[in-house]
Structure 1
Amino acid sequence: MVALTLLRKRWPKTALILATAIAAAPFLLLLMSLFLDI
């Protein structure tokens, strides 16, 4: 958690991009699996 705060202070844009990518990864995998199943 401390590393995240340090990243926010140093690179706010990259931290946001990484956070969004990590948060979106599972949903993207689920969507891909659904499309592959159909």
Structure 2
Amino acid sequence: MQLDEYGKDSVEKVKQLMASECIAVSAIEAGKLIGFVGAIPF
């Protein structure tokens, strides 16, 4: 029972970590895209 609770907690932590990492990567990619578009002279 204790192990099961710990396992669930770990899975939730991993999910949260992955979600925040995805958001960070998306923000970086968006920033690169904006920077790239901004670098093109119109």
Into which bin does the TM-score normalised by the smaller protein fall? 0.3 to 0.5
How high is the TM-score relative to the length of structure 2? 0.44
Higher normalized contact order (CA 8 Å, seq sep 6+, divided by chain length): 1
How high is the TM-score relative to the length of structure 1? 0.46
